[in-house]
Amino acid sequence: MKIQAPHTLVRRRGFTLLEMVIVLGIIAMLLGGAIFASKGILSSSKIGRADSDFKTIETNLMQYNTANGFFPSSSQGLKALVDKPSGTPAPRRWSQIMTKVPLDPWKNEYIYRYPGKKLKSEPEIISKGPDGMENTDDDLSSQD
* Complete domains list, the chain, with CATH: 19-141 (3.30.700.10)
Q: Is this prediction's pTM over 0.85?
A: no
Nearest to 118 by CA among 98, 142, 136, 137: 142
Tens of pLDDT along the chain (144 residues) come to: 556 556 666 666 777 888 888 999 999 998 888 877 776 666 778 899 999 999 999 999 999 999 999 999 999 999 999 999 988 899 988 999 999 999 999 999 999 999 999 999 999 999 999 999 999 999 999 998
Residues 86, 100: Cα–Cα separation, whole Å: 18
